[in-house]
């Protein structure tokens, strides 16, 4: 059976049945058919010729009988001859006679007038009865004439009185007195065609031709149908050949019965199996394709390595539940080790909160009926303890052009930072709104108080002007702060570098904050070396740094505290310090305080108004100068901010205290 | 005498409303946050509370909740807020039957609102 299948497969391996095969089949068929038809036609012709000749023979006998029965006249007699010629003519009218004559005593008694032969041809009728005893011979064909038959019938004639008349008429007609006896019998000789005229056989050939044409057409149609059938068969055979080894293996397992239904079942099974094998092969092809893509360029899985190096989790699902590829970040996201991941399927649970949710999304997409649109969602999970929340943007994208509906790619990106930044930004906007509205509210309220004209007390008026002036200044400072943040953000800030006298800069800073410091009864001290060299910097920007740090120190220092501003010069840098004994900053938030829009999370910080931009601005400015701000702080004891700025000229400096 | 409690951490707001309210003969009590306001409410009968939304220690919502649930007072409460866009906050405040007044505000308009809630004790004085 196996060998038979293999042979069948080999024979039908071509996608189409070879042309010569089809043509040969048709040719053989046609030749066979032609032979059969020819045989049949020859037979038929022979039979019809026999009937034809039998009819003629019968007619000749009839003619002879009629001549014999001419009792009244003597054969050879003029009257007899006339009657005889009429009979011959009648005969020629019914039978296609070439020539006919009546012979008695080796003499021509009567013959058919050749002129009557053609005339009689048009008036032939069929004979009526049957006769026996003919003498028949075949005459060779003469020039331009078909084969002819010579037919002779001898009939006895009556003797007696007719004899004399016969003799007399004979002598009369010949003009000689020959005392001859009247013939005892006469012969009627007729030359007739062998077979029906050519017209008949032409019709037979035409009908044969038309039959042949019909048969040819039918054959053509049959061949086309057969070829269609054979094409399907050859395709199956191709597949069979491709998967022969596997089929053979599987065939070994199948019980092949010789019974027809068993074979049919097997055949159907084979088709199913072929279908399964085909999909298996396609799956293998898809795998190979992916591997090829991943291992392309430079070999050694350069792309796979590149994908592994991505910070984003990348997952390729080739079919509903199987992972085709997971990069390192994806393993991390799902909480699987790379070796574990090879065994995992979509239905396994991820050991990580965010991974679990991402996996759920992926599962839903990959197993959805009828495909899906690319989708993207933010997955947020609580990391537990004090790590806050982390967010992932999980995108699931179907892979088009693959054979499996569930093929898709998942990319999960850690957007925690981004989300936090967005949240901080939103909070900042809210905070700014609030901060802007506070001075605005005061300005409007006091302006209306003035303009209402209901309060003419000079003390109230003065108070109103005072508040309006103060709040307007606060408002413009706030606007500048916000502006500087946006400038720093887009990098448009220009430093106007000039000689800066640190002593006057710091003194002015301390003077500016004295007002708010006195409100809280905070002592602000300025401790400077006796001699400070000017540095090269942007004076206005440095003033912002000083004001921000001082304002910050005063804001987060409880009443009756103190703030010390100092300055030290070193070999290549200058250090401005702002030290307070305020609430301090928790170690966990030290890095955060310099971030834009970020503020401490403890209630003591939250109760103070602020936008979270002061320290960010200060550090940005210091960095633009090529320096930085460092922070030493302890919760509950106070903080020290140190602004380090580069300084080229260096000289030893002594410390002195200036109150 | 009609007594009004002003609770606001912004001294300027407290001051300007005090000027206006005393002008219309209301008796004014001031607090720097919700907690101080509650302390006053416990000692002193008050006819109307004018409070800021954002205050340290106890904010406007906390104050309103305490007034309705702890002190069981049914006096009118007006809360000034710069964050009227925060729908959930406004909804919570309306639960405690609080009139929300947006910031920045005009004192004259706020006075009209207060006068509507509790008529000025010195209408004739205001008219003069």
- Choose the weakest-confidence range: A124-133, A180-189, A231-240: A124-133
Highest mean pLDDT among A6-10, A242-246, A375-379, B38-42: B38-42
Q: How confident is the model at residue A12 (pLDDT cuts 50, 70, 90)?
A: low
Nearest to A513, CA basis, from A484, A488, A487, A550: A550
pLDDT at site A434? 74
Stronger pLDDT, B80 or A192, i.e. the higher one:
B80
Question: Which helix (DSSP H) or strand (DSSP E) does residue A188 occupy?
Answer: strand A185-193
Q: How far apart are CA A104 and CA A424, in angstroms?
A: 148
pLDDT at site A196? 66
- Choose the weakest-confidence range: A118-122, A540-544, B61-65: A118-122
Q: How far apart are CA A342 and CA A324, in angstroms?
A: 9
Interface test with A, best of B14, B103, B112 (most A CBs within 10 A): B103
Domain ranges of chain A: 41-202, 310-414, 421-485, 496-658
- Interface touch A467/B107, C-beta < 8 Å: no
Question: Which helix (DSSP H) or strand (DSSP E) does residue A380 occupy?
Answer: strand A375-382
Q: B110: nearest CA in chain A?
A: A445
Distance from CA of residue A588 to its chain's centroid? 55
- Distance (Å) from the C-alpha of residue A426 to the closest C-alpha of chain B? 13
Q: Are A41-202 and A421-485 the same fold in CATH? A: no
pLDDT at A144 over 70: no
Cis before residue B104, ω within 30 degrees of 0?
Answer: yes
Percent of chain B with pLDDT over 90: 41
Chain B CB within 8 Å of residue A166 CB: no
pLDDT at A124 over 60: no
Phi, psi for A453 (deg, rounded to 5): 70, 10
Chain B CB within 8 Å of residue A460 CB: yes
Which class does domain A421-485 fall in? mainly alpha
- Rounded mean pLDDT of chain B? 86
Three-state DSSP class for A100?
Answer: strand
Which chain B residues are closer than 8 Å to A441 by Cβ? 10, 13, 82, 103-105
pLDDT at site A8? 61
The phi-psi region of residue B76 (left if phi > 0; otherwise alpha if psi is between -120 and 50; otherwise beta) is beta
Stronger pLDDT, B40 or A345, i.e. the higher one:
B40
Helix A198-242 to helix A19-68 angle, to the nearest 10 degrees? 160
Intra-chain end-to-end CA distance of chain A, in Å:
112
DSSP string over A69-86: T--SS-TTSHHHHHHHHH
pLDDT at A528 over 50: yes
Contact assessment for residue A104 and residue A195, using Cβ atoms and an 8 Å cutoff:
no
- Domains recognised in chain B with CATH numbers: 3-127 (3.40.50.2300)
- Distance (Å) from the C-alpha of residue A544 to the closest C-alpha of chain B? 25
Distance from CA of residue B93 to its chain's centroid? 13
- Choose the weakest-confidence range: A201-205, A432-436, B107-111: A201-205
pLDDT at A392 over 80: yes
Nearest to A351, CA basis, from A363, A333, A326: A333
User: Could you give the count of Cα atoms lying within 13 Å of A637 in the half-sphere of its Cβ?
Assistant: 5
Q: B57: nearest CA in chain A?
A: A607
Phi, psi for A607 (deg, rounded to 5): -70, -25
- CATH node for A310-414: 3.30.450.20
Q: How far apart are CA A313 and CA A361, in angstroms?
A: 14
Q: How confident is the model at residue A73 (pLDDT cuts 50, 70, 90)?
A: low
Look up residue A350 and give its DSSP letter.
P
Interface test with A, best of B15, B25, B35 (most A CBs within 10 A): B15
Q: How far apart are CA B78 and CA B111, in angstroms?
A: 11
- Choose the weakest-confidence range: A47-56, A153-162, A396-405, A411-420: A153-162
Q: How confident is the model at residue A29 (pLDDT cuts 50, 70, 90)?
A: confident
Taking residue A13's Cβ as centre, other Cβ atoms within 10 Å add up to 13
pLDDT at site B125? 46
Stronger pLDDT, A384 or A159, i.e. the higher one:
A384
- Interface touch B104/A441, C-beta < 8 Å: yes
Taking residue B86's Cβ as centre, other Cβ atoms within 10 Å add up to 14
- Distance (Å) from the C-alpha of residue A442 to the closest C-alpha of chain B? 6
Percent of chain A with pLDDT over 70: 68
Choose the closest CB to A442 out of B12, B57, B83. Answer: B12
Chain B CB within 8 Å of residue A604 CB: no
List, as own/partner pairs, every contact residues A267-276 make where C-beta atoms lie below 8 angstroms and the sequence separation is at least 24, other chains included.
A270/A240, A271/A236, A273/A247, A274/A236, A274/A239, A274/A240, A274/A243, A274/A247
Q: What is the 3-state secondary structure (H, E, C) of A580-612?
A: ECCCCCCHHHCCHHHCCCCCCCCHHHHCCCCCC
Which chain B residues are closer than 8 Å to A471 by Cβ? 12
Q: B17: nearest CA in chain A?
A: A445
- Distance (Å) from the C-alpha of residue A494 to the closest C-alpha of chain B? 35
Q: B85: nearest CA in chain A?
A: A430
User: What is the DSSP pairing of strand A628-634 with strand A638-646?
Assistant: antiparallel
Region A523-546: what's the mean pLDDT? 87
Q: How far apart are CA A403 and CA A285, in angstroms?
A: 10
Q: How far apart are CA A202 and CA A349, in angstroms?
A: 91
0.80 exceeded by pTM: no
pLDDT, tens digit, 9 for 90 and up, residues A339-374 = 777 777 777 777 677 778 888 888 887 777 666 778
Choose the closest CB to A434 out of B16, B54, B107. Answer: B54
Chain B CB within 8 Å of residue A440 CB: yes
Which chain A residues are closer than 8 Å to B112 by Cβ? none
E strand segments, A485-529: 497-500, 523-529
Size of the A and B interface in Cβ pairs below 8 Å: 57
Stronger pLDDT, A602 or A285, i.e. the higher one:
A602
- C-alpha dist (Å) from residue A623 to A29, A617, A630, A643, A647: 100, 10, 11, 10, 14
- Interface touch A449/B82, C-beta < 8 Å: no
Stronger pLDDT, A406 or B68, i.e. the higher one:
B68
- Interface touch A448/B103, C-beta < 8 Å: no
Stronger pLDDT, A337 or A240, i.e. the higher one:
A337
- Distance (Å) from the C-alpha of residue B125 to the closest C-alpha of chain A? 12
Three-state DSSP class for A399?
Answer: coil
Q: How far apart are CA A96 and CA A36, in angstroms?
A: 32
pLDDT, tens digit, 9 for 90 and up, residues A607-625 = 565 666 788 888 888 888 8
- Choose the weakest-confidence range: A29-43, A237-251, A472-486: A237-251
Nearest to B52, CA basis, from B2, B16, B24: B16
Region A502-524: what's the mean pLDDT? 88
Region A309-314: what's the mean pLDDT? 83
Q: How far apart are CA B128 and CA B123, in angstroms?
A: 9
Contact assessment for residue A441 and residue B103, using Cβ atoms and an 8 Å cutoff:
yes
- Interface touch A607/B19, C-beta < 8 Å: no
pLDDT at site B45? 92
Nearest to A563, CA basis, from A529, A526, A616, A594: A526
pLDDT, tens digit, 9 for 90 and up, residues A295-304 = 443 444 667 7
Which chain A residues are closer than 8 Å to B104 by Cβ? 437, 440-441, 443-445
Region A167-195: what's the mean pLDDT? 60
- Rounded mean pLDDT of chain A? 74
Instruction: Give the alpha-carbon dihedral of B95, B36, A582, A432, to 10 degrees.
Output: 40
Q: How far apart are CA A158 and CA A72, in angstroms?
A: 10
- Choose the weakest-confidence range: A90-104, A118-132, A142-156, A286-300: A118-132
Which chain B residues are closer than 8 Å to A429 by Cβ? none
Three-state DSSP class for A381?
Answer: strand
Nearest to A439, CA basis, from A466, A462, A473: A473
Burial A329-338 (b: 16+ CB within 10 A, else e): bbbbbbebee
Contact assessment for residue A261 and residue A267, using Cβ atoms and an 8 Å cutoff:
no
Task: Using alpha carbons only, give the angle A353, A355, A360 rounded to the nearest 5 degrees.
Answer: 100
Region A414-432: what's the mean pLDDT? 78
Which chain A residues are closer than 8 Å to B83 by Cβ? 430, 433-434
Give the strand order in the sheet containing A389-398.
Answer: A323-326, A313-317, A408-414, A389-398, A375-382
Radius of gyration of chain A (CA): 65
Stronger pLDDT, A349 or A39, i.e. the higher one:
A39
Percent of chain B with pLDDT over 70: 95
pLDDT at site A299? 43
Which chain B residues are closer than 8 Å to A452 by Cβ? 107-108
Contact assessment for residue A584 and residue A633, using Cβ atoms and an 8 Å cutoff:
yes
- Interface touch B104/A449, C-beta < 8 Å: no
Q: How confident is the model at residue A577 (pLDDT cuts 50, 70, 90)?
A: very high
Contact assessment for residue A446 and residue A470, using Cβ atoms and an 8 Å cutoff:
no
Which chain A residues are closer than 8 Å to B20 by Cβ? 449
pLDDT at A174 over 70: no
DSSP β-bridge partners for residue B99: B78
Q: How confident is the model at residue B36 (pLDDT cuts 50, 70, 90)?
A: very high
Fold of A496-658: Heat Shock Protein 90 (3.30.565)
pLDDT at A91 over 60: yes
Q: How far apart are CA A326 and CA A202, in angstroms?
A: 85
Chain B CB within 8 Å of residue A478 CB: no
The phi-psi region of residue B97 (left if phi > 0; otherwise alpha if psi is between -120 and 50; otherwise beta) is left
Give the strand order in the sheet containing A628-634.
Answer: A628-634, A638-646, A573-580, A562-569, A523-529, A655-658
- Interface touch A607/B56, C-beta < 8 Å: yes
Look up residue B71 and give its DSSP letter.
S
- Distance (Å) from the C-alpha of residue A289 to the closest C-alpha of chain B? 54
- Interface touch B10/A438, C-beta < 8 Å: yes
pLDDT, tens digit, 9 for 90 and up, residues A322-343 = 777 888 888 888 888 777 777 7
Highest mean pLDDT among A5-14, A143-152, A580-589, A649-658: A580-589
pLDDT at A110 over 90: no
Percent of chain A with pLDDT over 90: 3
Residues of B with CB under 8 A from a CB of A: 10, 12-13, 15-17, 19-20, 23, 54, 56-57, 82-83, 103-108
Q: How far apart are CA A158 and CA A620, in angstroms?
A: 161
Which chain B residues are closer than 8 Å to A437 by Cβ? 82, 103-104
Which residues 6+ apart lie within 8 Å of A432 measured at CB?
A: A478, A482, A611
Choose the closest CB to A455 out of B13, B23, B56. Answer: B23
- Distance (Å) from the C-alpha of residue B59 to the closest C-alpha of chain A? 11
The H helix count followed by the E strand count for chain B is 6, 5
pLDDT at A179 over 50: no
Q: How far apart are CA A248 and CA A96, in angstroms?
A: 77
Which CATH number among 1.10.287, 3.30.450, 1.10.3470, 2.40.30 corresponds to the domain A41-202?
A: 3.30.450
pLDDT at site A322? 75
Highest mean pLDDT among A156-160, A616-620, A624-628, B48-52: B48-52
pLDDT, tens digit, 9 for 90 and up, residues A432-447 = 777 778 888 888 889 9
């Amino acid at each position: 059976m196996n060998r038979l299948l293999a042979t069948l497969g080999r024979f039908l391996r071509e996608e189409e049945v070879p042309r010569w095969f089809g043509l040969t089949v048709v040719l053989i068929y046609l030749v066979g058919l032609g032979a059969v038809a020819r045989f049949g036609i020859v037979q038929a012709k022979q039979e019809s010729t026999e009937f034809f000749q039998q009819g003629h023979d019968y007619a000749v006998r009839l003619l002879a009988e009629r001549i014999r029965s001419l009792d009244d006249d003597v054969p050879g007699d003029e009257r007899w001859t006339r009657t005889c010629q009429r009979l011959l003519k009648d005969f020629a009218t019914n039978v296609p006679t070439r020539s006919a004559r009546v012979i008695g005593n080796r003499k021509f008694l009567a013959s058919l007038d050749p002129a009557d032969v053609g005339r009689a041809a048009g008036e032939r009728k069929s004979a009526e009865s049957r006769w026996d005893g003919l003498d028949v011979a075949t005459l060779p064909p003469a020039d331009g004439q078909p084969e002819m038959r010579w037919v002779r019938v001898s009939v006895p004639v009556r003797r007696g009185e007719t004899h004399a008349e016969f003799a007399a008429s004979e002598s009369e007609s010949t003009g000689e007195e020959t005392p001859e006896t009247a013939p005892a019998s006469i012969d009627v000789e007729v030359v007739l065609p062998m077979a029906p005229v050519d017209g008949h056989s032409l019709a037979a050939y035409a009908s044969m031709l038309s039959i042949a044409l019909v048969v040819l057409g039918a054959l053509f149609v049959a061949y086309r149908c057969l070829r269609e059938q054979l094409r399907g068969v050859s395709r199956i055979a191709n597949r069979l050949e491709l998967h022969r080894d596997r089929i053979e293996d599987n065939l070994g397992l199948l019980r092949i019965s010789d019974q027809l239904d068993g074979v049919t079942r097997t055949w159907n099974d084979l088709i199913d199996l072929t279908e399964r094998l085909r999909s298996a092969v396609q799956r293998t092809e898809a795998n190979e394709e992916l591997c090829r893509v991943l291992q392309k360029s430079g070999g050694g899985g350069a792309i796979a390595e590149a994908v592994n190096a991505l910070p984003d989790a990348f997952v390729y699902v080739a079919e509903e539940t199987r992972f085709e590829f997971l990069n390192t970040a994806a393993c991390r996201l799902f909480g699987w080790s790379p070796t574990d991941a090879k065994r995992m399927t979509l239905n396994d649970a991820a050991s990580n909160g965010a991974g679990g949710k991402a996996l759920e999304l992926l599962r839903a997409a990959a197993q959805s009926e009828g495909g899906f649109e690319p989708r993207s969602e933010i997955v947020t999970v609580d990391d537990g303890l004090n790590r806050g929340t982390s967010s992932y943007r999980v995108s699931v994208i179907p892979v088009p052009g693959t054979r499996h509906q569930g093929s898709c790619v998942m990319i999960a990106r850690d957007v925690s930072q981004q989300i936090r930044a967005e949240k901080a930004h939103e909070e900042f906007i809210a905070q700014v709104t609030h901060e802007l509205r506070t001075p605005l509210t005061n300005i409007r309220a006091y302006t209306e108080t003035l303009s209402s004209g209901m309060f003419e007390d000079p003390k109230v008026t003065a108070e109103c002007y005072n508040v309006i002036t103060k709040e307007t200044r606060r408002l413009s400072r706030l606007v500048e702060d916000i502006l500087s943040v946006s400038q720093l953000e887009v990098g448009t800030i220009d430093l106007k570098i000039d000689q800066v006298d640190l002593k006057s800069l710091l003194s002015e800073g301390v003077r500016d904050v004295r007002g708010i410091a006195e409100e809280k009864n905070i002592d602000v001290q300025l401790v400077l070396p006796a001699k400070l060299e000017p540095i090269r910097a942007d004076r206005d920007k440095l003033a912002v740094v000083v004001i921000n740090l001082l304002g910050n120190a005063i804001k987060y220092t409880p009443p009756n505290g103190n703030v010390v501003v100092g300055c030290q010069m070193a070999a290549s840098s200058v250090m401005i310090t702002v030290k307070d004994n305020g609430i301090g900053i928790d170690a966990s938030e030290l890095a955060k305080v310099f971030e834009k829009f970020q503020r401490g999370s403890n209630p003591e910080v939250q109760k103070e108004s602020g936008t979270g931009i002061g320290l960010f601005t200060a550090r940005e400015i210091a960095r633009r100068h090529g320096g930085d701000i460092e922070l030493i702080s302890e919760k509950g004891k106070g903080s020290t901010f140190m602004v380090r700025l580069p300084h080229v000229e260096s000289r030893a400096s002594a410390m002195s205290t200036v109150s | 005498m009609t007594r009004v409690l002003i609770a606001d951490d912004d001294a300027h707001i407290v001051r300007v409303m005090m000027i206006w309210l005393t002008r219309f003969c209301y008796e004014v009590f001031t607090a720097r946050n919700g907690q101080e306001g509650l302390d006053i409410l416990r000692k002193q009968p008050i006819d109307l509370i004018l409070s800021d939304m954002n205050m340290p220690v106890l904010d406007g919502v906390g104050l309103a909740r305490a007034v309705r649930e702890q002190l069981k007072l049914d006096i009118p409460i007006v809360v000034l807020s710069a964050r009227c866009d925060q729908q959930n906050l406004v909804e919570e405040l309306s639960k405690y039957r609080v009139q929300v007044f947006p910031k920045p505000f005009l004192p004259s308009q706020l006075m009209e609102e207060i006068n509507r809630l509790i008529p000025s004790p010195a209408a004739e004085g205001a008219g003069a």
